[in-house]
């Protein structure tokens, strides 16, 4: 069986995404990996970093079937809107960033790529260019015509999915509805089976309130919303435990017997995961008809072009995308 191809988007051109691509090229990948970006950008950044790399132009209608050799990188050349200075944002390149994502996402839908791996974008500069953009997840959901997606971060020994993502804390409780919780739980359960090869996923579910509501004395969301939803899904055969107090759920006693944790909001689950695995963690978008993984960090504009970066998160994102694709075969 020939290797499956994967797309790599470097994200914000003034950030560390191009640097990550170039440093990654030092090692031969197990599958053909195509960077969708500007060839000129990579050449300029390679000179700045003092990195020796051979950039191999590809025809999008005749993509390579073999991995590039160490020291080489396949590039689907995508023109910039303006020259790039490392560390300096330019709204003129906002459309370029979205074009790289479109090429990668559409390539996954068309079957040219088995999955896509994304480096960080800068949401602010894209919005300043007059383009409504709230993030990779929402952009790819619209591109693939997906109504509901789920954000999951993972590192060695821990996966955390979120019922709500980027909401003000005062809005979280109102967003925890039976409908949303059921949709998110179903997507998490399905993708753990289909994309991670877990036959019977074991999922721990956090309560919303301290002590999971303390029997209703610290909030009634557990009693009125969370528990009835979980009980209904358990009746279908899902292995769901909770709602559990979040302050004790993230301990070996519970984690060694689960495949994923479902947290109610962003800062309930992600601080624990990032403490455990920052620099070796990744972001996975669940619910899409395609495989998409990403690094767990930002654009790091101050480090762009310095060579003082760690490729650990990107390597984990790549390895996970490869494994997910093999599971789906």
Can you give the three-state secondary structure of 42-102, one letter per residue? HHHHHHHHCCCCEEEECECCECCCCCCCCCEEEEEECCCCCCCECCECCHHHHHHHHHHHH
Instruction: Give me Rg for the CA atoms of the chain.
Output: 21
Higher pLDDT, 2 or 182: 182
- What integer pLDDT is reported at residue 278 of this predicted model? 80
Tell me how long the chain is: 329
Query: Annotation-wise, does 136 bind a ligand?
Result: yes
Query: Annotation-wise, does 209 bind a ligand?
Result: no
C-alpha to C-alpha distance for 234 and 241, rounded to whole angstroms: 9
Judged against a pLDDT cut of 60, whether residue 70 lies above it is answered with yes
Classify domain 6-146+288-327 by CATH architecture: 3-Layer(aba) Sandwich (3.40)
- What integer pLDDT is reported at residue 92 of this predicted model? 97
Binned at pLDDT 50, 70 and 90, residue 45 comes out as very high
- What integer pLDDT is reported at residue 254 of this predicted model? 94
Binned at pLDDT 50, 70 and 90, residue 323 comes out as very high
Query: Annotation-wise, does 211 bind a ligand?
Result: yes
Mean pLDDT, range 247-258, rounded to an integer:
93
- What integer pLDDT is reported at residue 201 of this predicted model? 97
Enumerate helices (H) and strands (E) in the chain, giving the number of each.
13, 12
Judged against a pLDDT cut of 80, whether residue 329 lies above it is answered with no
Residue given tokens 């920052």 in the structure block: 278
- Asked if residues 188 and 263 have their Cβ atoms less than 8 Å apart, the reply is no
Which residues are bridge partners to 284 per DSSP? 152, 293
Cis bond before residue 48 (omega within 30° of 0):
no
Neighbours of 30 (CB within 10 A): 12
Residue 47 vs residues 38, 84, 307: alpha-carbon distances, Å: 15, 13, 11
Give the residue range(s) of CATH 3.40.718.10 domains in the chain.
6-146+288-327, 150-274
C-alpha to C-alpha distance for 212 and 218, rounded to whole angstroms: 8
Binned at pLDDT 50, 70 and 90, residue 3 comes out as low
- What integer pLDDT is reported at residue 134 of this predicted model? 81
Judged against a pLDDT cut of 80, whether residue 315 lies above it is answered with yes
| Homologous superfamily in CATH for domain 150-274 | Isopropylmalate Dehydrogenase (3.40.718.10)
Mean pLDDT, range 139-148, rounded to an integer:
94
Smallest CA-to-CA distance from 196 within 294, 70, 286 is with 286
C-alpha to C-alpha distance for 87 and 172, rounded to whole angstroms: 34
Judged against a pLDDT cut of 90, whether residue 153 lies above it is answered with yes
Query: Annotation-wise, does 145 bind a ligand?
Result: no
The answer for 16, left when phi > 0, alpha when psi is -120 to 50, beta otherwise, is alpha
Query: Annotation-wise, does 292 bind a ligand?
Result: yes
Task: Name the token pair of 232.
Answer: 């209904």
Binned at pLDDT 50, 70 and 90, residue 185 comes out as very high
3-state DSSP helix/strand/coil % of the chain, to nearest 5: 40, 20, 40
Task: Name the token pair of 233.
Answer: 């899904």
C-alpha to C-alpha distance for 74 and 9, rounded to whole angstroms: 12
Query: Each residue of 91-139: pLDDT tens digit?
Result: 999 999 999 999 999 999 999 999 999 999 999 999 999 998 888 888 9
Which residues are bridge partners to 249 per DSSP? none
Query: Annotation-wise, does 311 bind a ligand?
Result: no
């Amino acid at each position: 069986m020939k290797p499956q191809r994967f797309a790599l988007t470097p994200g914000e051109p003034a950030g560390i995404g191009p640097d990550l691509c170039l440093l990654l090229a030092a090692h031969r990948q197990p599958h053909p990996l195509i960077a969708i970006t500007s060839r000129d950008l990579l050449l300029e950044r390679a000179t700045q970093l003092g990195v020796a790399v051979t950039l191999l132009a590809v025809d999008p209608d005749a993509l390579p079937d073999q991995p590039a050799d160490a020291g080489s990188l396949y590039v689907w050349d995508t023109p910039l809107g303006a020259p790039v200075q490392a560390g300096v944002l330019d709204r003129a390149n906002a459309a370029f960033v979205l074009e790289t994502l479109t090429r990668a996402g559409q390539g996954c839908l068309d079957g040219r790529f088995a999955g896509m791996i994304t480096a960080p974008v800068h949401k602010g500069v894209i919005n300043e260019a007059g383009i409504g953009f709230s993030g990779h997840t929402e952009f790819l959901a619209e591109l693939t015509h997906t109504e509901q997606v789920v954000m999951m971060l993972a590192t060695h020994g821990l996966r955390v999915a979120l019922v709500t993502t980027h909401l003000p804390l005062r809005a979280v409780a109102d967003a925890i509805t039976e409908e949303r919780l059921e949709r998110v739980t179903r997507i998490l359960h399905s993708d753990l089976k289909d994309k991670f090869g877990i036959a019977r996923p074991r999922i721990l579910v956090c309560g919303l309130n301290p002590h999971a509501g303390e029997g209703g004395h610290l909030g009634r969301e557990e009693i009125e919303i969370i528990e009835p939803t979980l009980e209904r899904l358990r009746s279908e055969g899902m292995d769901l435990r909770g709602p559990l107090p979040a302050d004790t759920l993230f301990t070996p006693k519970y984690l060694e017997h689960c495949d994923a944790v479902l947290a109610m909001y962003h800062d309930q689950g992600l601080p624990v995961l990032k403490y455990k695995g920052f620099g070796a963690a990744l972001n996975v978008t669940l619910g899409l008809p395609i495989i998409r993984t990403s690094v767990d960090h930002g654009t790091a504009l101050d480090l762009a072009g310095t060579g003082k970066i760690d490729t650990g998160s990107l390597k984990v994102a790549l390895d996970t995308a490869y494994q997910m694709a093999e599971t789906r075969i």
